[in-house]
Structure 1
Amino acid sequence: MSTRKIENGILLMITLVGAVIWIFPLYWAFVTSIRTENHVVSANAGLLPDMLHLNAYVESIFNTRLLTWYFNSIGTSLIITVVVIVSGMMCAYALSQMRFPGRRLLYGVVLASFMIPSQALVVTQFVLMNDLRLVNTWGGIILPQLIVPVVIIVYKQFFDAVPKEMREAVLLDGGGEYTLLLKVYMPLNWGITTALAIITFIMAWNQFFWPFLVITSENMMTIPVGITQVNDAFGVFYARLMAVALLAAAPVAIAYLVFQKKVTEAVMISSGVKG
C-alpha cells in the first residue's frame, strides 16, 4: 500500500472521529428530548433512542413562553441585521470612495473598535440604556449590537477593489453617489451582503450575555435567555430543556443550510478581495 493511501486513510479516520465528537452532543440532546423525564434520569437510559415521546416538545411550545421568545429573537435579530448591513455598507462606501477631512482617522477608529472586546463596554452601555429608559425593551437589546466594525471593513475592502473607471463613467453620465452605491456597487456585492447578513443574523440570534443583562421580564426575553427559565420548582426538566434548546437552534441551522452555498461563495470572494 502506498504512503499516500495510508496518509489519506489516517486523515479520513481523524475526520470521522472529529465528526462523531462534534455531533454527539446534538445527538444526545435529541435522544434526551424524545424521552420521558423519568426515563432521562433512569439507570436504564442508554445511548440509543429506545422510545419516541414528543411530550417535551408539546410542553415547550404550549407551557412555556417559547413562541414569545421566538418573536423577540426574530424581531430584534432582523432589525439588527438590516441596520448593521445598511449602515455598514454606507459607511464603508464613504470611507472607500469619498474624500473628506478625517477619513483616514475615522477608518483608524473603526479598526481600533474592532480590537476592543464588547464585554469591556458592558457597564457603560448598561448605564446608558438605563438613562435612556430602554431596559426591558427591544431598543435596549438592539442599540448596543449595532456596532459591528467587521462589516465596514469587509465592505471597504470590496469597494476598494472595484475599478475606478466604473465610478468615473457613472459620474460623467451625471450620476451621483447614491446612484453609484445603489446601481453599481450593490449589484456587484450581493454575495458578500448575503454572507454578512446571515452571519450578523446568527450572531444576533445567539447573543446571550447582553440580553441577559438588559432584560429581566420573561415576556421580553430572547431565545438564548429564555432557555434559562425552562425549569420547575422541583428541579430541572432535562427532556424539556433539550427540546427547547433544539427548537431554539433550529432557525439558524436551517438558515445556514439553505444559504450555505451563498456563504461559501461570499467567503471566497471576500478572501480574494483581501488578497
Structure 2
Amino acid sequence: MALSTFTPHSSTAKAAPNVPTYRRRKRISASRVAATVIVAVLSFTWLVPFAWATITAFKSETEAAATPITIVPKSGFTFDAFAKVLQQGNIPQWTWNSLFTSTAVTIITLIISTLAAYALSRIDFKGRKVMMTVIVASLIVPPPVLIIPLFYQMVSFHMIDTYWGIILPQVIAPAMVFVLKKFFDQIPRELEDAALVDGAGRIRIFWQVVLPLSRPILAAVAIFVFIGAWNNFLWPFIVTNDSSMLTLPVGLQTIKSAYGIQYAQNMASALLAALPLIVVFLFFQRQIIKGISTTGLAGT
C-alpha cells in the first residue's frame, strides 16, 4: 500500500519541474523561428538588387532598356556588356592600382591601429584619457570635411597622382583603434605579468603574447579596412588625374557612352568592381563573424 501510494506521488514530483523547462524550450524555439524568418527576409531584400544587376549585366543593351521588363531576355544572355567595358577601359591596370593601394592601406592601418590600441589599453601614460576622448570624438567627424586640408597636404608633399597620395590619407582609422582597444582590454593581464616575470619586454609581449591571441579581431579589422579602401571613390577621384593611376571604382566611372545611359554596361562595371570583394567575403566570412563576436562591443 505504501509503495502504490509513493509511486504516483514521486512521479508527480518529478514531472512538475519539467513543465517550466518545456515552456522555456517552446519559447526559445519560437524566437529562433522568428529570428530565422527576419534574417531570411533581410537576406532576400539584399539579394534582389544584386540578382537584378547580374541579370541586367548579361543582357544586350536593347533588352536591358526594353519595356516591359523581363527576367529572361528573348535573345538570350550575352557577354557583350562585359566585352565593351573591358575594351573601353584599362581594367587590368585599374585593378592592380586598387589591389596595391588597398593592401598597403590595410597593412599600414593594422600596424598603426594595433600599436595605438595596445598603448591605450595597457600603458598608463600622461594624457591617455584625453587621447582616447579625442579618438572617440573623431568618430563623429564626417570624412568629406577633411578632403580640402588633405588635398592641400598632398599638393605640398608633391603626392598628387602617386600611390602614396592615395594610401596615406586612408591609414588613420579611429574606429579600428577603438575596436582593437576594446578587444585588448579583455585579454587577461596575468598572461603579460607572467611574461614580464620571465624577462620579456613590452615589444616581445605584444608580438608573441597579445597578437597571437588577437588573430580573429585582426582578421576582421583587416577585411573591413580592405573593403573600405577598395570601395573608396571620393579620395582617389580627387587625388588622381592620370588615367594610369586610377583605381577600379574611379576608372569604371570614366567609361561613358555617347548614346546615353547604358544599363547593361553600368551593371557589368558594378559587378567587375564588386567581384573581388565577394571573393574576399566568401573566403573570410568566418573570420569576420568571429572577429565581430569577440570584440566585446555588446557590453559597451
Q: Structure 2 length normalisation: TM-score?
A: 0.82
Q: Would you say the 8 A contact 2:182–2:296 is kept in 1? A: no
Q: How far off is 1:103 after superposition?
A: 2.2
Report whether the alignment pairs 1:97 with 2:122: yes
Aligned-partner Cα distance in 2 for 1:16–1:265: 21
Report whether the alignment pairs 1:55 with 2:60: no
> Any gaps of 5 or more consecutive residues in structure 1?
none
Counterpart of 2:45 in 1: which secondary structure?
helix
Report whether the alignment pairs 1:139 with 2:152: no
User: Within 5 A, what are the aligned runs for 1:23-62?
Assistant: 23-43=47-67, 45-50=69-74, 51-62=76-87
Partner of 2:220: 195
Q: Would you say the 8 A contact 1:96–1:160 is kept in 2? A: yes
Counterpart of 1:270 in 2: which secondary structure?
coil
* Deviations, residues 92-138 of structure 1 (Å, cap 9, x unaligned): 11122223222222222222222211111111111111111212222
* Deviations, residues 42-71 of structure 1 (Å, cap 9, x unaligned): 336513354121122222234311111111
Partner of 2:135: 110
Distance change in 2, residues 1:273/1:98 (3 Å): farther
How many residues were matched structurally? 274
Q: Would you say the 8 A contact 1:30–1:243 is kept in 2? A: yes
Counterpart of 1:192 in 2: which secondary structure?
helix
> Any gaps of 5 or more consecutive residues in structure 2?
1-25
Distance change in 2, residues 1:14/1:93 (3 Å): closer
Q: How far off is 1:9 after superposition?
A: 8.2
Q: Name the aligned partner's letter for residue 57 of structure 1.
A: F
Match of 1:252 among 271, 277, 286: 277
Match of 1:229 among 254, 266, 271: 254
Aligned-partner Cα distance in 2 for 1:215–1:85: 25
Aligned-partner Cα distance in 1 for 2:221–2:87: 34
Distance change in 2, residues 1:63/1:181 (3 Å): same
Q: What percent of counterpart residues are identical?
A: 32
- Report the aligned-residue RMSD: 2.6
Q: Would you say the 8 A contact 1:211–1:221 is kept in 2? A: yes
Counterpart of 1:194 in 2: which secondary structure?
helix
Q: Would you say the 8 A contact 1:89–1:152 is kept in 2? A: yes
Q: How far off is 1:21 after superposition?
A: 3.4
Report whether the alignment pairs 1:119 with 2:144: yes
Which protein shows a greater Rg?
A: 2
Q: Would you say the 8 A contact 1:157–1:273 is kept in 2? A: no
Aligned-partner Cα distance in 2 for 1:271–1:10: 25
